[in-house]
């Protein structure tokens, strides 16, 4: 069981970390607390063991490095069998340091508890793929706003020898899908049907994707990578503040009884620090652990999904579930000033659009313009405008529509687009050219690097925060509403952002277009960074700006992730800038060039792992925009 504890957020260089003192009872469980020794403050990580007999001695913990963001630092479980590595606590959110140095493996994600699950697998001898799978399953428990087994996403893998591949586990449209399915009885497009009914649920891909990645590239046993999430859900964990606050809102608004039952105490929201157990989810994860992918796509879990579809008017059938297949695809690759950029190919648009923008920007002297200067942001905006136009015109599921990936990612295409950019004035964006479909900001990304240099970048999602918001009764997991990423209605394109181009309309078995951009950067054959972000259509631009901060401006890891970001997506024709970090004078200068500018909140959470090119040490970077995030390393 995981129990919260408030500790100091300090780091001391060098010295030995000892454990001292006795266990104490917390909510009926025995907890070993680490005390300050040798001038080092209490640790953020504690070894715990669940036992009805609290007189049983606890084994001494094996410790590892950890960085946690949030309004407090909370305790995490460490496997009793984990090996090696010293643990230090790092500053909480708001402190200047958001990077953690690890000599070997590193996991950085939106949940410190989930990062720890992945780091445990690394410590036990698993590789980066194993750790990514363990982290992903744990996120389904501890980060339910986007972590999932009822959704889908993408995994980019770079091997130590420089080869790369990707796993596409994007959701697919059920067999009964059709292009006009989101229209009401009058034939009028309905946003409610498209995004907020059981018709918006795509056939989930996460479990199949993780199973394929493990079968092809994992070294740990399947039980080793799934069991941590089973224990988290069954034994419970103490809610960190961000999740507690988020779930309180979900419970108060939800119209789904199974959701309220799963994530509250009889309708009363959990408070931060209280232990939440998810027994139905534990049961679903245990079936996955014991039966592999068939434990989700066949048998009891599949029966419960089909029953949920019948209750809610959805169209996923047992046959849809049994037929689902993840796909291994070639990565899309580009170059920028000697760096290699490896990312996800369609049906994700992220890699193609990002490489197209980098190719355009490579022809400008961005250092001379100055980071986040008006000229620099103008050039970024104009490259974004053009790439997002191409995204909407051409990209979709490559199994249904020919994708001009080679042309869009070519230097020649970028050269032609660069010539259309006025250095002093904003370009127009017209609805007649194309618009963008609605896409939720609620995704999650995590990054893993192991001791051998294998790198894994994963972005996956339920689409909206908590997906449809419906927990499958008896199965305990949330359903996606990913069908909302298909175009709303064929031929319906307007200035509000709706798009009706044929490349991304719903058809049976088709994957919906995505902006997810899990990315790996290398140079001279050596791994440099593993990056990505949530954020809907902003994902592409967030990841590109982090990449530029690394490749163009040589920023330190924490600065590269923390720097202020902007977004433009062709239509609506507005630049969104983060409130913190972009001064009013820059906004005024952009407006003088003809740009419309909107000041918004934070953009994305780019939890990353970078590699010190001199020492080879892994550096886990937690985006300070996240609340409960954490990096854990060996």
Identify whether 443 is a catalytic site residue.
yes
CA 323, 508, 479, 602 dihedral sign is positive
Residue in 68, 109, 164 with CA at minimum distance from that of residue 448: 109
Residues 210, 134: Cα–Cα separation, whole Å: 9
Structural element, H or E, at residue 541 = helix 538-551
- Contact predicate 354/544, CB 8 Å: yes
Instruction: Count the Cβ atoms, other than its own, within 10 Å of residue 504.
Output: 26
Residue in 417, 265, 381, 405 with CA at minimum distance from that of residue 330: 405
Residues 135, 116: Cα–Cα separation, whole Å: 8
Query: 265's torsion region: left (phi>0), alpha (psi -120 to 50) or beta?
Result: beta
Structural element, H or E, at residue 545 = helix 538-551
Q: Is the peptide bond before 15 cis (omega within 30 degrees of 0)?
A: no
Alpha helices in 263-399 (DSSP H): 279-291, 294-297, 299-312, 318-323, 350-361, 366-369, 374-394
Complete edge-to-edge strand list for the sheet that includes strand 327-329:
65-68, 630-633, 106-109, 443-449, 455-461, 152-158, 164-169, 327-329
Radius of gyration, alpha carbons of the chain:
23
Alpha helices in 12-152 (DSSP H): 112-123, 128-142
Q: Which residues contact 526 (CB under 8 A, 6 or more apart)?
A: 611, 613
> What is the phi/psi pair of residue 442, to 5°?
-90, 90
Q: Is the peptide bond before 572 cis (omega within 30 degrees of 0)?
A: yes
Instruction: Count the Cβ atoms, other than its own, within 10 Å of residue 267.
Output: 11
Bridge partner list, 152 = 461
Unique residue bearing structure tokens 């408030």: 6
Q: Which of 87, 301, 443, 542 is catalytic?
A: 443
Residues 115, 386: Cα–Cα separation, whole Å: 36
- Contact predicate 366/336, CB 8 Å: no
User: 327-329 and 575-578: which strand pairing?
Assistant: unpaired
Residues 439, 539: Cα–Cα separation, whole Å: 11
Residues 625, 630: Cα–Cα separation, whole Å: 12
Residues forming the active site: 443
């Amino acid at each position: 069981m995981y129990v919260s504890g408030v500790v100091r957020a300090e780091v001391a260089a060098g010295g030995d970390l000892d454990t001292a003192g006795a266990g104490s009872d917390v909510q009926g469980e025995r907890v070993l607390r680490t005390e300050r020794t040798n001038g080092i403050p209490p640790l953020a990580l504690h070894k715990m063991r669940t036992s009805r007999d609290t007189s049983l001695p606890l084994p001494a913990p094996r410790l590892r490095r950890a960085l946690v963001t949030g309004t407090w630092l909370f305790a995490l479980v460490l496997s009793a069998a984990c090996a090696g590595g010293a643990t230090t606590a790092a500053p909480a959110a708001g402190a200047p340091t958001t990077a953690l140095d690890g000599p070997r493996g590193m996991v950085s994600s939106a949940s410190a508890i989930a990062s720890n699950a992945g780091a445990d697998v690394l410590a036990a001898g698993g590789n980066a793929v194993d750790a990514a799978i363990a982290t992903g399953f744990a996120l389904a428990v501890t980060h339910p706003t986007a972590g999932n087994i009822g959704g889908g996403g993408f995994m980019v893998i770079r091997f130590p020898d420089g080869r790369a591949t990707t796993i596409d586990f994007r959701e697919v449209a059920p067999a009964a899908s059709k292009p006009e399915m989101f229209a009401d009885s009058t034939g009028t497009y309905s946003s409610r049907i498209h995004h907020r009914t059981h018709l918006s649920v795509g056939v989930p891909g996460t479990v199949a994707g993780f199973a394929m990645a493990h079968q092809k590239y994992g070294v740990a046993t399947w039980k080793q990578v799934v069991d941590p999430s089973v224990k988290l859900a069954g034994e419970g964990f103490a809610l960190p503040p961000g999740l507690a606050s988020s779930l309180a809102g979900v419970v108060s608004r939800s119209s789904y009884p199974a959701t309220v039952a799963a994530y509250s105490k009889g309708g009363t929201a959990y408070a931060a620090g209280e232990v939440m157990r998810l027994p139905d989810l534990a049961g679903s994860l245990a079936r996955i652990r014991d039966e592999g992918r068939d434990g989700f796509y066949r048998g009891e879990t599949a029966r419960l999904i089909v029953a949920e579809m019948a209750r809610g008017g959805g169209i996923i059938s047992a046959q849809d579930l049994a037929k689902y297949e993840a796909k291994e695809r070639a990565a899309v690759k580009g170059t920028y000033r000697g760096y290699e950029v490896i990312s996800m190919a369609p049906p994700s648009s992220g890699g193609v659009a990002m490489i197209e923008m980098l190719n355009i920007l490579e022809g400008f002297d961005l250092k001379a313009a100055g980071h986040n200067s008006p000229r620099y942001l103008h050039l970024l905006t104009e490259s974004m405008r053009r790439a997002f136009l191409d995204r909407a015109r051409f990209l979709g599921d490559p199994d249904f529509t020919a994708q001009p990936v080679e042309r869009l990612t070519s230097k020649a295409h970028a050269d032609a687009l660069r010539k259309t950019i006025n250095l002093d004035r904003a370009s127009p964006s017209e609805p007649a050219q194309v618009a963008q479909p609605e896409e939720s900001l609620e995704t999650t990304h995590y990054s893993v690097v192991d001791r051998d240099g294998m790198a894994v970048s994963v972005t996956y999602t339920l689409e909206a925060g908590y997906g449809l918001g419906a927990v499958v009764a008896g199965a305990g997991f949330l359903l996606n509403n990913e069908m909302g990423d298909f175009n709303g209605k064929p031929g319906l394109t307007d200035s509000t952002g709706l798009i009706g181009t044929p490349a991304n309309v719903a058809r049976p078995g088709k994957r919906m277009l995505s902006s997810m951009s899990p990315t790996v950067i290398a140079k001279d054959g050596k791994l440099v960074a593993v990056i990505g972000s949530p954020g809907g259509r902003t994902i592409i631009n967030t990841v590109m700006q982090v990449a530029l901060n690394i490749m163009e401006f040589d920023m330190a890891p924490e600065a590269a992730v923390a720097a202020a970001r902007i977004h433009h997506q062709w239509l609506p024709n507005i630049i969104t800038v983060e409130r913190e970090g972009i001064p009013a004078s820059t906004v005024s200068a952009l407006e003088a060039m003809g740009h419309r500018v909107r000041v918004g909140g934070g953009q994305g959470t780019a939890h990353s792992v970078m590699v010190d090119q001199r020492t080879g040490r892994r550096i886990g970077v937690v985006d300070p925009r996240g609340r409960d995030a954490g990096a854990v390393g060996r």
